[in-house]
Chain A
Amino acid sequence: MSATSEKILEKLDQQQIQHTPQYIFTWREILLWTFFVLATVLAVLCLTFILQNVVSSDLELYVYSSVPTLYYLYTIPFIWILLCVVFCCILYIDLNKTDTGYKFETPVIAVSFITLCLLSSVYLFASGTSARMQSELVSMPVYDSITKNRENSLVQPENGLLAGEIIEVHSYNHFYLRDFSGKEWEIKNNILVHNGDSIIVKGKKVRLAGKKLDADSFEVTMLKKYGIRSGFGENYLERYWYLMKYEEIV
């Protein structure tokens, strides 16, 4: 026996060093893979919310209004992008900590992950699941403060932006709205671009771009639903319905 082996065996005896039990390593591995799956799911959800936010963004309204260009940044879902990057980093580090994760080539992981994320997020968005989840999130205090910011950013009559609830409808071109700060407005429209007849209904929340006429009235050039867009389905159905009507008329 060499001097080194003697010293090591002696140290093992003196310090009463024992083998770490097998179950510790088994559990560690299980936990690492669980975190990996969890981080993947969360990253997919973040990507879905990014897609959701991009589709439901206020960018189109900003273009029709006179808000400063800086406001366009509001349309970028920074929080979800940041969280998505964080979860991607977590799952990459986590994978490398597993016993076998290092064997996967980085491009293979990246391509598989991106494909999985895109397919899942498009499916979640198209099925309306992401919209339902985001509606649930709105009831959370932190998320509520984020949506409050959106509400505030949309109530800028001086800059041609307004958002709130329709409280009275006189006609298609003339209705009343209570904005998110509680002020009531008479809305008159000349050019109306919107996505559906059913939008101008008492109780509906809408966002408008246009021009402030005086202290209490607003001229609208663009009107859109306020809220979270639910998948592709709803709009496809609307378009289909319009097509049928058009054919009937023709």
Chain B
Amino acid sequence: MSTENITDQELVLRTFENKENFAELIQRYEIPLKKYLLRLTGLESHDIEDIIQDVFIKVYKNLHQYKSDLKFSSWIYRITHNEAITFLRRQKRKPKIVDTEESWHFFDQVISDENVEQNFESNEKIKILNQIFEEMNEKYRDALILKFLEEKSYEEISDILKKPVGTIGTLINRGRKQFKEIALKKGIKP
């Protein structure tokens, strides 16, 4: 039977009955979560694979904790986010932005209203982006990634980061401000 039209919530309920249904949930979220992890951490693929496995095992173990008033995607993103942070802390590593098309757009989106001179190469853009992110406050960076790279709504970001919606708005605004300030310091003049 096709499971394409089945909602995440239904799949969760079916997983309680049969473990095989969990494979469908994994398939649905494997790629988006790997992308998210790559954007959030810039880790090597084998590290991302390790984190993804830990995430899904944790999800399976704690499936009873999931409540249907929350979007399943927000819940699984929350677990992924926490696992990634724990992994980076354990390895004492700093997150790094990887050279992807989305990353270039990210740069443009965050400072779009400033009419920044965009006459530099994309690889240079990624280099600057990484330098900016290194100097940025972690909480602002996480909120900006979820907003501009994952294209999540404020409510979803609130559920993922476990912070009130108002705080998310503040984090994004302050994050953009900090991003622009650091970018200006790096010689990107409006």
Contact = CB atoms under 8 A, between A and B. Distances in A.
Contacts of A17: 57, 60-61
Interface band, chain B = 20 to 34
Contacts of A104: 164
A180 B17 CA distance: 74
A12 B64 contact: no
A21 B65 CA distance: 9
Contact of B162 (A11, A20, A24, A102): A102
Given A20-B62, A22-B64, A8 B26 contact: yes
B57 A5 contact: no
Nearest to B70: A99
Chain A facing B: main interface SS: helix
B30 interface: yes
B65 A12 contact: no
A102 B64 contact: no
Given A2-B30, A12-B19, A102-B163, A20 B56 contact: no
B64 A2 contact: no
Of the candidates A8, A102, A104, the one having the most CB atoms from chain B within 10 angstroms of its own CB is: A8
B44 to A, nearest CB: 16
Given A25-B64, A99-B67, A102-B158, A4 B52 contact: yes
A96 interface: yes
A191 B102 CA distance: 83
Interface string A1-14: 11011111101100
The SS class assigned to the B binding surface is helix
Contact of A2 (B26, B53, B67, B164): B26
A7 B53 contact: yes
A140 B39 CA distance: 58
B61 A4 contact: no
Interface string B17-51: 00110110011001000000000000000000100
A96 B60 contact: no
A191 to B, nearest CB: 58
Given A4-B30, A6-B23, 15 more contacts: A4-B52, A4-B53, A5-B22, A5-B26, A5-B27, A8-B53, A8-B57, A9-B22, A19-B16, A19-B60, A22-B64, A24-B64, A102-B163, A102-B164, A103-B165
Interface of A: 1-2, 4-9, 11-12, 17-22, 24-25, 96, 99, 102-106
